[in-house]
Amino acid sequence: MAAILSFWSNSRLKSDFEQRLAPHIEPLFRLACRLTNDPLDAEELVQEVLVKLYPRRDELANIEQIRPWASRVLYRMFIDKWRRRKLEPLKESELPEEQDLDQQDAQLSAEDYLQLRTDLGAVQSALNQLSEAHRTLILMHDVEGYTLVELEEILEVPLGTLKSRVHRARARLKKLLLDDQTVAEPFDAPERVSVK
């Protein structure tokens, strides 16, 4: 019997699906890397997103801004399914720390600003100490460059709330970057930022 060849494994994609999504695979991969912190996991996550999107080709054809739309799918998949499957602990994502961070904490004095450590190692270390919700905001907005309007769609959070959360996330980050202060994020180990 002749070797069984499958059309499906040979087949090429419908051009529209490929053409519309291909330019956004790399940004999706980057976002997935940021969320999972592992390139292999990121590949797996992006792959699952594409599998989920493929049957929605008709809907895709009518989407003007594909990147936030696909990013939203990726983020929801990360939160709802993928992360749970990986058995990672589900940290509080509703930002109770917002109540803990009072107005005074959210503001830096001029002196504080000048004492901020801004080298890459310190920034990475501080970022890793943020709560997951705050870290995600910083990674998506300040690192990957998603606009607040895009994040409103991706995270399904009102714009006003987002602005407040971003402000507080940045304030947390800066507190962690101050040499002489230790600010532990709620639910995280109260570790001092390492100063190299």
Partner 1 sequence: MRCQDVRNLLPELVRGDLNPAAEAMLRTHVEDCRACTGALAREQQLQASLKAIPVAVMPSDFAARALRQAATQGRPGLRRLVDHPLALAASIVMVCGMAFMLGRELTVGAGLEVVSVPLGQTQMVALKIDAPQAFDHVEFEVALPSNVVLEGQPDLREFAWSGQLRAGVNVLSLPLVGVDAAGGQLIATVTYGNTKKSLRIPLSVAVGNG
Which residues of this chain interact with partner 1, rule CB under 8 A?
1-15, 17-18, 21-22, 25-26, 29-30, 33-34, 39, 42-43, 46-47, 50-51, 53-55, 107-108, 110, 113-114, 116, 118-120, 122-124, 127, 138, 142-143, 147-148, 167, 170, 174, 177
Handedness of CA 113, 140, 160, 176 (dihedral sign): negative
CB of 161 to partner 1, least distance (A): 17
Q: Say whether 116 sits in a helix, a strand or coil.
A: strand
CB of 65 to partner 1, least distance (A): 18
d(CA 19, CA 119): 39
In the complex with partner 1, the residue whose CB is nearer, 87 or 120, is 120
CB of 15 to partner 1, least distance (A): 7
Which residues share a beta bridge with 116? 178
In the complex with partner 1, the residue whose CB is nearer, 2 or 87, is 2
User: For 80, how many CA atoms within 13 A lie in the half-sphere containing its CB?
Assistant: 9
Chain position carrying tokens 């969320």: 35
